[in-house]
Amino acid sequence: MPRFVREAFLLWGRDFLERRLKLKILWTVGGVLAACAALQPCAFGASQTQQPHPAAGQAQDADKATNKPATKIVVDETGRRVAVPINVRRVVSLAPNLTETIYALGLEDKLAGDTTYCDVPAAAKDKPHVGGTTNPSLEAIVALHPDLVLATAINRWETVAALEKLGIAVYTLDPHTVRETLESIMLLGDLMGAHEQATALVAKLQSTLDDLQARLRERPLVHVLFLVWDDPPITIGQNTFIADALRWAGAESVLISDQDWPHISMEEVVRLAPEYIVLAGDHLAASDPTKSNDLRHRPTWDQLEAVKLGRIVVASDEMTRPAPGLVEAIVTLAHNLHPEVFGNAGGNSKNGKIEPGLQLVEAHDAGVLCAL
């Protein structure tokens, strides 16, 4: 599980419905209060200040109207109505997948800042940072003078509300499937004035997925255990976008759960007998390598046939990000899970088994654990 996902998961999970309701109520109340404030003159200020000449006031209003950028009302993916500048010039991204998408669209010049977790592409690390995904600095965001802030459902609703109160437009994207990820890319491109670039990118990604599905159409789904964490074991629910990505790769989770990140006992893992174990991209780096690199020597794990045969795959980091790179991660995972289709080696070691004394390490080019 990527650091920014773990950070949010440990803090408050993903109770989207409650957060959306709070956002809707806050937006409605905030709009009413703002309207009332605009209609009521400040009595104290009026008594202390000489009234300007009507003509002067009209000139000032005209200047303000001229300087204020033209906006359009759009509905974001959480159902909020947002006044977004027609010509977006400066954007702050509050999530790695959004930053990656901005670069994929060739719009990095409009990216004024991002978070400390934005690392794809590498150039994103050089942008001014505003903090983490769940705890960005409002002062840092304001200092960058954005006319649009991009958020996801993993960001705190309090952050969105505070930025709105400061008069900064916040558009939230919330894809739950691979197709919705492509739709979000299209929406982001339209928001930032890059419709043609977004159309071309989405068409390319969809074509890749279509070609993959054509090759996997006659193949049965591989039953896998996708681990976002190993101690205690935490896997994925059937309604997460990772579960959907697995299906595109010709696989499905052995566990059916309505929870997004269900805990699973080792007894249940043994009973379900997954054909493959898939580890989240930075799983090895995030936990103790001496524990994660060699499941063969860990109690109960060594009973699994998948472990005995070396069928342990490290998925790309992109598998946990609803961004353009997700499609290539799906293709890579499909190659690892269906070697009979793509001509890959059938196992991670000779004769499909791990010989005693060998250690599992990650193969950087293929994303699969190999015995050395």
Q: In the chain, where are the structural domains located? A: 3-34+68-200, 220-371
Average pLDDT over residues 150-169: 94
In contact, 108 and 166? CB cutoff 8 Å: no
State the DSSP code for 129: B
The residues that bridge with 225 in the sheet, in sequence order, are: 277
For the domain 3-34+68-200, what is the CATH superfamily, name and number? Nitrogenase molybdenum iron protein domain (3.40.50.1980)
In contact, 362 and 284? CB cutoff 8 Å: yes
pLDDT in tens, 48-98: 334 444 544 544 444 444 467 799 999 999 999 999 999 999 999 999 999
Alpha-carbon Rg for the chain, nearest whole angstrom, is 25
- The pLDDT, as a whole number, for residue 294 is 67
Same fold? 3-34+68-200, 220-371:
yes
Kindly tell me the burial class for residue 180, based on how many C-beta atoms sit within 10 Å of its own C-beta (0-12, 13-18, 19 or more).
Answer: middle
pLDDT in tens, 312-368: 998 988 998 999 999 999 999 999 999 999 986 444 433 333 233 223 333 333 333
Q: CA dist 149 to 43, 141, 290, 301, Å?
A: 35, 9, 41, 44
For the whole model, what pTM was predicted?
0.75
Q: How many CA atoms lie within 13 A of 296 on its CB side?
A: 17
- The pLDDT, as a whole number, for residue 368 is 38
- The pLDDT, as a whole number, for residue 14 is 38
Which CATH architecture fits 220-371? 3-Layer(aba) Sandwich (3.40)
Average pLDDT over residues 189-197: 96
The residues that bridge with 227 in the sheet, in sequence order, are: 279
Pairwise CA distance, residues 347 & 350, whole Å: 7
Token pair for residue 138? 């409002």
